[in-house]
A and B are shown apart, each in its own frame.
Chain A
Amino acid sequence: MNRDVKVAILTMEGTNNEEEAYLSFKHSDSSPEIVHLKKLENGTKKLGSYDIIFFPGGFSAGDYVRAGAVMAARIRSRLMKDLEKFVETGKPVMGSCNGFQVLVELALIPNLTKEYELEAALAPNMSNRFEARTVYLRVNRGNCLFLRGFRDGEIIKLPIAHSEGRFTPRDGNVLRKIIKNGMNVLSYVDDKGRLSGYPWNPNGSEHNIAGICNREGNVLGIMPHPERVFYNVTESDWTRHEWRPGMGYPFFMNAVQFLREKF
């Protein structure tokens, strides 16, 4: 019998990708639970009782101010200690899209100094539009636990859907350190696998960065949505290739397997 892996999918009003995240974990042999921030704030639920934390996409609090800022502020005021403790145990934490924005606002990534200081932001897309499309991504997996099972240099395809996804480091120094440490684990590339401009880089991200993992390899934030392509049949070009597991499948299986191996 496999050890039960408990996943907290954190929501508040406006997060709206919890359903597909829930199902992706459910279909990865774990026990996900959609947890409203309210329940953590009033103590009905404890972060420490979960094995994996997932920050889903959406528009937390409507994103009428900077994306992810309100959700991050809410977490910082009441739950930050618990969350830092969780991260430091080495358990998996992942955010996609709005979840990535929240993780960056919380300074859990890149967190180069380990002081949880704000080192980057996700700025409005260069096109100034919401962009919904499938993108090519090059994997640079390093020690990122979510990417075990992918090959280094492998090109994968995932959907994106956001209007604020332009990864913008605070300064050149932060960018250099991210690259030097191999924390830029996913990069937007063109159909030939090269770093290219719009529309291949859909938001104008610095150095084509689509995803960042912390140095310890357990906190991943990415703009694309692996939870929307857990199965092959929801990929935008699936009618052109043979059946195989969805491109998003490994992200979830890797996290669950990692947890079972290490904890």
Chain B
Amino acid sequence: MTEPKASTEIPVLNKTRDELLEISKSLHLGLSSDEMLMIKSYFENEKRNPTDVEVQAIAQAWSEHCSYKSSKIHLKKYIFGIAKEKVVAQGDAGLVSLDDDTAIAFKMESHNHPSAIEPYGGAATGVGGILRDILSMGAQPIAVTDALYFGTKTVKGFPSPKFIEDGVIAGIRDYGNRVGIPTVSGGIVYSEHFSPNVLVNVGCVGTVNKKKVMSSAISEPGIILIIAGGKTGRDGIHGVNMASAVMGSGEDDITTVQLGSPITKEPLIHAVLEANEKGLLYALKDLGGGGLSSVVGEMLEAGGIGGRVDLEKVPLKEKSMRPWEIWISESQERMLLAVRKENVNSVTEIMDNWDITSSVIGESVEGKRLQIFYEGLEVLNLVTEFMTSPKLYDRPRSVAERRVVQWLPKYPTDFKKLLVSSLSDKNVRTKEFAVRQYDHTVRGSTVIGPFTGIVGREGPSDASVIRPDWNKSSGVAIAHGSNPFYSEVDPYLGGMAAIDETVRNLISAGAEPLGFSDCLNSGNPENPEIMGEFVSMTKGLHDSAFSLNIPFVSGNVSFYNETGNRRIPTFPTVLGVGKVEDISSSITPDFKGIGNALFLVGVPTTDLGGSLYYRHLKLEGGRVPYSDPRVLKRRGWNLLKAIKSGEVASIHDISDGGLATTVSEMTIGSKIGASLDVSPLGLRTDFALFSEPQSSWVVEVRKGKEKQFTDHLGDDSVVIGYTQESELIVRRGEERVLLIDLQSILRNWKRGYS
């Protein structure tokens, strides 16, 4: 039997609330009965039933994924609007200013649900999607980043953690390497919280001439719509609806995952940028979640104009696709170009030159309505504003009673053992087995990559630096921050800590932080406790960023990361970009010379909640280290002055595993040891060495510059030792606390990689 290809009518008039919910379920719309009633009332005014294309289009637009209906109220209050004067533009990605001519476009978003169902394809298309977001701003992508969160436990009905991990890494590798944009930054966190709900947060950074920044708004009639790139198929149908619900067993959702083709994307990037460079584009948007339906609706609504589209003109992978499938398919590698009539031929010619398929599918028209035709038959006729204005929810929330119990750990007997267990911890030790599978030098612009130091024994870097223009000395620094362990204990402080870490990392490269992108991961927002956590997290992000006066220019929200009774902590991954005025003054964490003074900038803490030290002792709860944004600003920006005037030889921030781990990591890429005395720090030795104070760094200061450095840092810095030829020795006054040779440090940090 052949399916009828045209659209069918969906009877909603005269239906009860329950019947409407049943319709929503049977068509996989994911809409609530309230939302179905809104549709019913709209069509009562239209005096007809909707078509399948119409209800599917509305379901896409109103999905949590596309509409942010559960988070928008809170995002508006806490995230949007900070440091507005520093935002150059916002759209699919956000822009901040690098120099007079150039803007940095960047965004981080999640591809969690698809990666949980199909790790390889989900992760690959995550990279593909974020690249298109940057391209949509008219920007050349210069770097891809990814923050991955893998589970450690096998959950019945789901693939093993190892299978998921290998698949995700391979997906990022095969897509990123083929598309020719370096994967330079990111992180991997292991915790049982992420079984089976793996999180794949992918980021992309690009640069664009400020005069060539593209918008997605169409505000006049007669603008031609061209679809370019991959053909449209049945892959990725209902992806956004799947990402807006609690996951069942993965098998049922497999058709919702899209298929990626990096070697279509690579020329598509060239072709779109060439058309933009020549001034041939009016507006631009990528086809991601919700497919054509979301993109056309949003482009028209943004400019307050109507439009018409002829669906049969969309190039298809499979001829038998029905109109609603064409309209909502999330097939990859597609861009929608809005072009003035006189430029259509030039644009399609550029596409042809790059062997890119393109097709004119419609145009903007006077009015407020969008009309879709399939072989001359009208299959959709809606007011765009109705489609793009979903019901927003201020969902009920509760704040869990958290009694803070500060466990006092027993004073350790073997500090060397403690350091070794920290260095070789899965969350601290090298991630080279994954990261060295990613090409981080393609484009020849990577000034600081993920590993630095002596060739053959490189250690970790804090931030990456890219030189976007070979004719200029300026660089773009890229770094991340997130700590799901802190967030689990305290979502508010966890949010602040994510900003703190991002800023610390950027400062460590000698970069002034310019902007953030926030990728927010959470569970089911219909659970008041989770909604409470979500709001606490956004408040934490707000309080830090507001105080630093640094904007969030882009981001996304991923709810429903839960399965059965297993859910993830509510936490953000923050992607930050910074500006390096002169790349030759950017800096790395490996020690540079022998006999240089080592300063601690910061103060160890007694707050150990969520720290690696606590986790090793299997202690839960406690107080999470507090990030005071005023202190962060003072220390961070004073450090930038010190770096700029050439006082700093190397610098590394304090994070997982505390001061002892930080100093150890500085010996790896340098083969230079250190001698430390923790007595000036006052606290118990284990607190001094293994607590994770916020806004803190270890700094190696060049000989003869110590006075200048302390003038810049004031009371925020204290001498804790000096670099030496071999070994890391820690003393407390006369007492020797720890001695470890450099080879042991290297070997333990490299554990699991050969």
Question: Chain A: residues with CB nearer than 8 A to chain B?
Answer: 13-14, 16-17, 19-20, 23-24, 27, 36, 38, 57-59, 61-63, 129-136, 157, 159, 161, 190-191, 199-200, 225, 227-231, 233-234, 236-240, 243
A-B pairs, top 5 by smallest CB distance, nearest first, are: A16-B180, A20-B444, A228-B444, A161-B439, A14-B263
What mask results when residues 416 to 443 of chain B are scored 1 for a CB within 8 Å of chain A, else 0? Answer: 0000000000000000000111111111
Find out whether the CB atom of A240 lies under 8 angstroms from the CB atom of B454: yes
Closest beta carbon of chain B to A76's beta carbon, Å: 20
Which of A58, A135, A157, A236 counts the most chain B CB atoms within 10 A?
A236
List, in ascending order, chain A residues with CB within 8 A of B264's CB. Answer: 13
B455–A227 touching, CB < 8 Å? no
The verdict on A133 contacting B178 (CB below 8 Å), with A157-B455, A161-B441 known, is: no
A62 near B583: Cβ-Cβ < 8 Å:
no
Shortest beta-carbon distance from A25 to chain B in Å: 12
Are B178 and A191 closer than 8 Å at their CB atoms? no
- 17 more CB-based (< 8 A) A-B contacts, given A161-B177, A228-B446: A13-B354, A16-B442, A20-B443, A24-B444, A36-B353, A59-B177, A59-B263, A129-B436, A130-B437, A131-B436, A225-B441, A231-B470, A234-B445, A239-B448, A239-B587, A239-B592, A240-B670
Q: Which of A23, A36, A239 contacts B588 (CB 8 A)?
A: A239
CB distance B439 to A132 under 8 Å?
yes
CB atoms of A14 and B588 under 8 A apart: no
18 inter-chain pairs at a CB distance below 8 angstroms, sorted by A residue, are: A16-B178, A16-B179, A16-B180, A17-B443, A27-B470, A36-B354, A59-B263, A130-B436, A133-B436, A134-B455, A157-B455, A199-B456, A200-B456, A228-B443, A231-B470, A234-B444, A234-B445, A236-B449
A129 B437 Cβ-Cβ under 8 A: yes
Please, what's the 1-or-0 string for B564-603, where 1 marks a CB less than 8 Å from any CB in chain A?
Answer: 0000000000000000000110111010100000000000
Do A130 and B177 contact each other (CB < 8 Å), given the known contacts A61-B263, A236-B451, A236-B458? yes
Closest partner residue, chain B, to A57 (CB atom): B442
Contacts of A62 in B (CB 8 A): 178, 262-263
B266 near A228 with CB under 8 A, answer no
Q: B438-478, CB under 8 A of A: which get 1 and which 0?
A: 11111111111101111110100000000100100000000
The distance from the CB of A116 to the nearest CB of chain B, in whole angstroms, is 28
Partner of A234 from B179, B180, B447, B588 at Cβ < 8 Å: B447
B267 at the interface (CB under 8 A from A): yes
What chain A residues lie within 8 Å of B592 (beta carbons)?
239-240
Q: Judging by beta carbons under 8 Å apart, are B441 and A159 in contact?
A: yes
Asked if B210 is an interface residue, CB under 8 A from chain A, the answer is: no
A200 to B754, CA, bound (A): 12
- Closest chain B residue to A133, Cβ basis: B436
Chain A residue numbers with a CB within 8 Å of B470 are: 23, 27, 230-231
Q: Which residue of B lies closest to A19 (CB)?
A: B443
Which residues of the partner chain A approach B449 to less than 8 Å between Cβ atoms?
A: 236
Nearest Cβ in chain B — how far from A148, in angstroms?
22
Looking across the interface, which residue of chain B has its beta carbon closest to that of A63?
B178
- State the CA gap A58–B449 with chains docked (Å): 19
Nearest CB of chain A from residue B200's CB, rounded to whole Å: 19
* B124 CB, nearest partner CB in chain A, Å: 13
Q: Which of B179, B439, B452, B583 contacts A130 (CB 8 A)?
A: B439
Q: Which residue of A lies closest to B448 (CB)?
A: A239
- Alpha-carbon separation in the docked complex, A227 to B180 (Å): 14
Q: Decide if B263 touches A132 in the complex (CB within 8 Å).
A: no
Give the chain A neighbours of B439 by CB distance below 8 A: 130, 132, 161
Q: Is the CB of B451 within 8 A of A239?
A: no
The answer to whether A136 touches B456, judged by C-beta atoms less than 8 angstroms apart, is yes
Q: Is the CB of B180 within 8 A of A17?
A: yes
B355 interfacial contact with A, CB 8 Å: yes
- Chain A residues contacting B443 (CB-CB under 8 Å) are 17, 19-20, 228
| Chain B residues in 8 Å Cβ range of A234 | 441, 444-447, 467
Contact A161 B453 (CB under 8 A): no
Which chain A residues lie closer than 8 Å to B40 at the CB level? none
